[in-house]
Amino acid sequence: MEIKEFLEFIITFIGIVGAFFVNKIATNNNKSFIDVLVYLILLSIIVWGVSLLLEKKIFDNNEDEKLKKFKFEQMVDGIWIEQYSIDGLPMYALIEIQFDKNTTKMNLKGTAYDSIGSTFANWNSSEIYTDDSRNNLLYVYGGQFQNTVLEGKGYGELNFSKIGVIDRFTTATGYFADKFSSFKPVSFCIDRLNVEQCKFLCGKDKPEFSKDKEKLIRTYHVEFKKNNLLKEQ
């Protein structure tokens, strides 16, 4: 017998026993039909309330147990800034790793920007494979690059790590390869963007629109160059 069926049986049993005692008490005390009806309505409300509480408790416990299997996916969920270089120029991209707790499905999507912060590529994952024992994620993607649809699929890998005792990963290294890279792996690293960093870079808790993301990247470019100049002095 499943938990839901057992719960329905217990609630029905409580209702029947309760109705029996209500009828017995009413009979012994010479209560009118209206009084008995009121008692039964009150009993029904109590039984209904108890059933809702029990169902919620069971549902919450089941959800917690289900999500325990996806701890790694929850730890990588968030917005990440990707850093790599082309011909010595610093290049950046935003990667959004999304984990849906309701469906337990994952999705990766990214936007790449040129050296002046203008969008030149968008991509979206079509397949994702995770290995929580190695903090590793493999993905297959398709997309549009410089207004040209990517022929075939690209693929990539991410290896996550974290700094300090926290419940989320903070950084990762990896590579991607597709037709535009002649399927030669391009190494990159990503760092998690928290709310404070997003506010500083684009003025919002989270970059929602293309203009927000471009503003974030352009500000990041400026800060990167500023920091490099400070290191050189």
CATH number of the structural domain spanning residue 80: 2.40.128.120
Whole-prediction pTM value? 0.68
Whether residue 103 is found in the same domain as residue 215: yes
Residues 88 and 13 occupy one common structural domain: no
- The percent of residues in the chain predicted with pLDDT above 70, rounded, is 68
Same-domain pairing of 118 and 166: yes
Residues 19 and 87 in one domain: no
The Cα 72–Cα 159 span in angstroms is 12
Domain boundary among the residues 50, 68, 86 is at 68
Question: Band of the pLDDT at 230, cuts 50, 70, 90?
Answer: very low
Number of domains in the chain: 2
pLDDT in tens, 18-29: 666 666 666 666
β-strand partners of 141:
125, 154
208 and 118 share a domain? yes
- Tell me how far apart the alpha carbons of residues 89 and 115 are, in angstroms, rounded to a whole number: 7
* Whether 34 and 147 share a structural domain: no
* Same-domain check for residues 179 and 211: yes
Characterize the bridge pairing of strands 136-145 and 89-100: unpaired
**Rounded CA gap, 64 and 179, in Å?**
42
Report the alpha-carbon distance of residue 26 to residue 23 in Å, rounded: 5
- Of the chain, the percentage scoring pLDDT greater than 90 comes to 28
| Residue 193 burial (C-beta neighbours within 10 Å; 0-12, 13-18, 19+) | buried
| Helix, strand, coil share (%) of the chain residues, nearest 5 | 45, 35, 25
Do 43 and 60 fall into the same domain? yes
112: number of CA atoms within 13 Å, CB side?
A: 19
CA distance 106 to 97: 7
Q: Which domain, by its residues, includes 55?
A: 3-68
- Using alpha carbons, select from 93, 95, 168 the residue that is nearest to residue 128: 95
| Listed residues 29, 49, 68: the one ending a domain | 68
Does one domain contain both 62 and 103? no
> Other CB atoms closer than 10 Å to residue 79's CB: what's the count?
20
CA separation for the pair 41, 168 (Å, rounded): 50
Same domain, 141 and 184: yes
Any idea which residue has 């069926």 for tokens?
Answer: 5
pLDDT in tens, 158-205: 999 976 667 789 999 999 998 888 888 989 999 999 888 899 888 999
Containing H/E element for 176?
Answer: strand 171-177
Whether 132 and 95 share a structural domain: yes
Last residue of a domain, one of 21, 45, 68: 68
